[in-house]
Homo-oligomer: A and B are copies of this chain.
């Protein structure tokens, strides 16, 4: 099954309701990024209708990157247009995609933003694609737990008819390996004075990550990218040298 990751959730009630909705549909891996009121949370427990007692312990992280470090493929839920070039999935097609990857032993997850402002663009840049829940255009705000509910519902719908996909493609690299590459690339770009103005630097960093996030880069390909970086920076021995 996929992991459910709630970024900066504010109200314990919503975390509890999300946990309950998860368990209704057979999802049990809940992860929290910096919950406002800490963890455990009494209101979450009260609103989970016992789900938190049945599920494995909730995992709590300080940062988004840490929370998804062991996953291979992550989708972000968002209702706003982000001007980022990402695949856009419906809840149904998103879960289909996750199922195919799970059948290939990839670890997958869906990232949900907090109540007030949703996900940051920098968080979305870490994800492979976006899930857009269809709603009436002029009345589109869904509660956090309701979004989790809809994705859980699409998940359980697949569980009866799911077929295994034989696919010999190598899995994408774990996100922590990708993150390590990004960090190195950024360091090298800084040293090379790539980031011209302070103002645009954050946007440019995000754009660079986006380029490499959309493709399912494998570990072997990451190794090639590291090699390219070393070569271009002149750290590599010349052909024929020992």
Contact = CB atoms under 8 A, between A and B. Distances in A.
A242 to B, nearest CB: 12
Contact of A92 (B86, B157, B194): B157
Q: Report, as a range, how many residues of chain A touch the other chain.
A: 35 or more
A40 interface: no
A216 interface: yes
A173 to B, nearest CB: 11
A214 B234 CA distance: 27
A100 interface: no
Interface of A: 17, 21, 23-26, 49-51, 54, 81, 83, 85-86, 88, 90-92, 132-137, 139-143, 146, 149-150, 153, 156-157, 160, 162-170, 185, 188-189, 192-197, 204, 207-208, 210-212, 214-218, 220-221, 224-225, 227-229, 231-234, 236-239
B218 A216 contact: no
A197 B227 CA distance: 14
A213 to B, nearest CB: 8
A49 B165 contact: no
Most buried by B among A134, A141, A167, A170: A134
A232 B189 contact: yes
Given A149-B149, A217-B211, A164 B232 contact: no
Contacts of A215: 211-212, 214-215
Given A189-B228, A225-B211, A227-B194, A51 B139 contact: yes
Nearest to A194: B231
B192 A236 contact: yes
A25 B136 contact: yes
B229 A207 contact: no
A194 B228 contact: yes
A156 B157 CA distance: 17
Contacts of A49: 141
A221 B211 contact: yes
A85 B51 contact: no
